[in-house]
Structure 1
Amino acid sequence: MPAISSVLVIGAGTAGTATAILLAERGVSVDLVEAKPDLAALGSGITLQGNALRVLRDLGVWEQVRAEGYPYDTLGLRAPDPAGSLLVELEDHRTGGPELPATMGMYRPALALILLERAVAAGAKVRFGVTPSGIEQDETGVDVAFADGSHGRYDLVVGADGVRSWTRRAIGIDVEPEPVGMGIWRVFTDRPASVTGTDLFYGGPSYIAGYCPTSEASLYAYIVEPDQDRSGLSPEEGLAVMRELAEAYHGPWDEIRGSLTDPSRVNYTHFESHVVAGPWNRGRVVVIGDAAHSCPPTLAQGAAQALEDAAVLAELLTGHDDLATVWPAFTERRLTRAQTVVEASLQLCAWLKAHERGDVPGLIARVADLVSDPA
């Protein structure tokens, strides 16, 4: 018999819904709770590397993802000169195997909806607008109190509740994300016909200016700047700042900049990073995804690592009959791999902040080699 028969998953993001799907379809009773009232999210895109696509295929949603997203196999490096000169176009690594694209760009809320519908179809019971308020565990299970006054008892609790994880704090893991010293402007807008893959502009007045196609009609574009307090800006002022920063970049940026007209499509966030450097569980409660590790998006591996967490955890939970044997195996398969990705992402940030010409292609290749092997 599997080590568990009932699970509470806290957080309906990528890691949480993937965990719910994999456990529910293997016969585990799954409750999935999400603090937000619905799936509404900031309307930006997401970059899914091949190793993320491999897990999405295992989740049974690959065909829907392919229909909604934009696959591509190249990475361009461009100069911040008046022509936006293409310096090199690299064949991207197919980390999910030769039968999958190297990369898929996608509208983030579309992916969230696909995963949620798959979780419900697999049998997970989903509740929105629900937050836990207390956890008590013993040798046989976990009692969870919710803020709406309800209670539940489970064999296991999975905290997939993001970088500000309530679960992580509730079980006494004293690790919090640290600022990296960079902030990112993102916008979801129209895709020029000339944009058929990701291009990165290194240098100029900002650290990075890049874009990623997300469908035949759309893309998301981003500019990474030194971290600063942008909280006082109105949406209109934020749009103006992004347009001003984008003036330094050309080539396809000249077309993209012309489409930056909707303040509601622009958002700003800070780069942060952390890793829980040790077992990610305390007894029968475990954290995964951004709750356990977060990194700047410089390698576009955040969603991939979250999906790998879910895949490995579900495999071990349903393949072992003793929960105590799950945790050493989970730590062995996930900690070093996630930590290596975080460290590589931070190395890219360090080079950019120091204005050093680091071996970016070499670092990307080393990470690609690591994640090409299934987790």
Structure 2
Amino acid sequence: MPAVSNVLVIGAGAAGTAVSILLAEGGVSVDLVDVKPDVSALGSGITLQGNALRVLRELGVWDEVGEHGYAFDTLGLRAPDPNGTLVAELEDVRTGGADLPATVGMYRPELAKILVDRATEVGVKVRFGLTFSQLVDDGAGVNVTFSDGSAGRYDVVVGADGVRSATRKALGIELEPRGTGMGIWRVFAPRPPSVTRTDLVYGGPCYIAGYCPTGEGTLYAYLVEDWQDRSGLTAEESLAVMRGLSEAYHGPWDDVRAGMTDPSRVNYTAFETHVLDAPWNRGRVVLIGDAVHTCPPTLAQGAAQALEDAAVLAELLLASDAVTDELWNQFVERRLPRAKAIVEASLQLSQWLLNHERGDVPGLMAQVAHLLSSPA
């Protein structure tokens, strides 16, 4: 018998839906709640590397992800010159194994819908527009009062509610994300034929100028700059700023820029980071995903690390016959060093850029690829 018979998961992002699916498939009754009114996800596109794809295959959604996303196996490096000259074409490491692509780009809300639909299919009770108002852990279970006045009792509660986790706050854990000094512009736009993979440009007015195909007809493009408060800009002004910054980049960027016409598709966010040291639980309430580790997107590993948390936690809960300190210790021992190493590598890349320092990027990337090629 699994260690749990019923579980509440708070947060219907990648981590929350993934752990819900795996537990439900293992015979556990799962309630999944999210304060948002529906399945819609903010953002434009998402880059999923092989280790993320490995978990998505375990969740039974790989075929849909492959159908709706855009797979590729190389990475291009281009110069910030008038021609957008291709400097190098690198074979990317297939960290999920030889039978999966190195990378898949896709529309983030589409991935969110696929995961929630899969959760519903395997019997998870999904409720949007709902969260908890109180968690009371009595050692044998957790009594939960919900925001609509209803209540329930669960063997374990999983807080997968993001970087500003309300669950983490309710547990009295003082952990706030800090900015790294960078901000990122993103836009969702049509994919021109010239874009068939991610190409990165280092230099020019931005630290990084890149794009990632997300489907046969779509992509998301991004520009990384020094963080500044852009909150006062209208949508039209934001588009104008992003188009202006992009004018320094050429080659396929000229085609990308021509499709950057919809102000509603532009967003701007800060690079933020944090890592929670052990333990990741307080009694029978445990935190996963961005609630415990958040890294800048320089390695495109945020969702992947959240998915790995979910896979490991579900494995341990289904394989154990009781909820014990040993279970929680095993979970954090398997996940904290790996997640922390990814956060630190992401920060190192960011710091080299901020310092205009030529660090050993190939060496760092090789270390990360080697780490991620082994399952979590």
What is the TM-score of this pair, normalised by structure 2?
0.99
- Identify the residue that residue 80 of structure 1 maps to in structure 2: 80
Q: Do the aligned residues in 2 keep the contact of 1:8 with 1:32 (CA within 8 Å)?
A: yes
- Identify the residue that residue 352 of structure 2 maps to in structure 1: 351
Q: Find the aligned partners of 2:279 and 2:94 in 1 and give their Cα distance.
A: 30
Deviations 1:132-182 (A, max 9, x none): 111110111001111111111100000000001001111121111111111
- Identify the residue that residue 199 of structure 1 maps to in structure 2: 199
Letter in 1 for 2:80: P
Letter in 1 for 2:369: A
Q: Do the aligned residues in 1 keep the contact of 2:40 with 2:112 (CA within 8 Å)?
A: no
Are residues 1:116 and 2:125 paired?
no
Q: Find the aligned partners of 2:200 and 2:236 in 1 and give their Cα distance.
A: 26
Deviations 1:41-92 (A, max 9, x none): 3350000000000000010010000000000001111111111111111100
Q: Find the aligned partners of 1:53 and 1:205 in 2 and give their Cα distance.
A: 33
Deviations 1:219-260 (A, max 9, x none): 000000100000000100000000000011111100111111
Letter in 2 for 1:165: S
RMSD of aligned Cα (Å): 0.7
* 1:196 positional shift: 0.9
Q: Find the aligned partners of 1:300 and 1:130 in 2 and give their Cα distance.
A: 30
- Identify the residue that residue 364 of structure 1 maps to in structure 2: 365
- Identify the residue that residue 149 of structure 1 maps to in structure 2: 149
- Identify the residue that residue 189 of structure 1 maps to in structure 2: 189
Letter in 2 for 1:337: R
**Aligned ranges for residues 174-323 of structure 1 at < 5 Å?**
174-323=174-323
Q: Find the aligned partners of 1:144 and 1:228 in 2 and give their Cα distance.
A: 40
- Secondary structure of 1:223's partner? strand
Q: Do the aligned residues in 1 keep the contact of 2:211 with 2:219 (CA within 8 Å)?
A: yes
Identity %: 71
Letter in 1 for 2:243: R
Q: Find the aligned partners of 1:146 and 1:186 in 2 and give their Cα distance.
A: 35
Letter in 2 for 1:49: Q
Q: Do the aligned residues in 2 keep the contact of 1:48 with 1:104 (CA within 8 Å)?
A: yes
Q: Do the aligned residues in 1 keep the contact of 2:40 with 2:113 (CA within 8 Å)?
A: no
Q: Find the aligned partners of 1:42 and 1:161 in 2 and give their Cα distance.
A: 14
Q: Do the aligned residues in 1 keep the contact of 2:194 with 2:255 (CA within 8 Å)?
A: no
Deviations 1:283-334 (A, max 9, x none): 1001100011000000001111000000000000010012112111101100
Q: Do the aligned residues in 1 keep the contact of 2:79 with 2:87 (CA within 8 Å)?
A: yes
- Secondary structure of 1:212's partner? strand
- Identify the residue that residue 36 of structure 2 maps to in structure 1: 36
Q: Which 4+ stretches in 1 moved above 6 angstroms?
A: none
- Identify the residue that residue 160 of structure 1 maps to in structure 2: 160
- Secondary structure of 1:135's partner? strand
- Secondary structure of 1:207's partner? strand
Letter in 2 for 1:349: S
Q: Do the aligned residues in 2 keep the contact of 1:160 with 1:290 (CA within 8 Å)?
A: yes
Q: Do the aligned residues in 2 keep the contact of 1:9 with 1:16 (CA within 8 Å)?
A: yes
Q: Find the aligned partners of 1:320 and 1:217 in 2 and give their Cα distance.
A: 46
Q: Find the aligned partners of 1:112 and 1:373 in 2 and give their Cα distance.
A: 26
Q: Find the aligned partners of 2:75 and 2:168 in 1 and give their Cα distance.
A: 36
Q: Do the aligned residues in 2 keep the contact of 1:42 with 1:267 (CA within 8 Å)?
A: no
Q: Find the aligned partners of 2:330 and 2:43 in 1 and give their Cα distance.
A: 37
Q: Do the aligned residues in 1 keep the contact of 2:41 with 2:112 (CA within 8 Å)?
A: no
Are residues 1:22 and 2:28 paired?
no
What is the TM-score of this pair, normalised by structure 1?
0.99
Q: Do the aligned residues in 1 keep the contact of 2:79 with 2:85 (CA within 8 Å)?
A: yes
Letter in 1 for 2:194: S
- Identify the residue that residue 71 of structure 2 maps to in structure 1: 71
Q: Find the aligned partners of 1:150 and 1:371 in 2 and give their Cα distance.
A: 42
Q: Do the aligned residues in 1 keep the contact of 2:276 with 2:292 (CA within 8 Å)?
A: yes
Q: Find the aligned partners of 1:194 and 1:240 in 2 and give their Cα distance.
A: 23
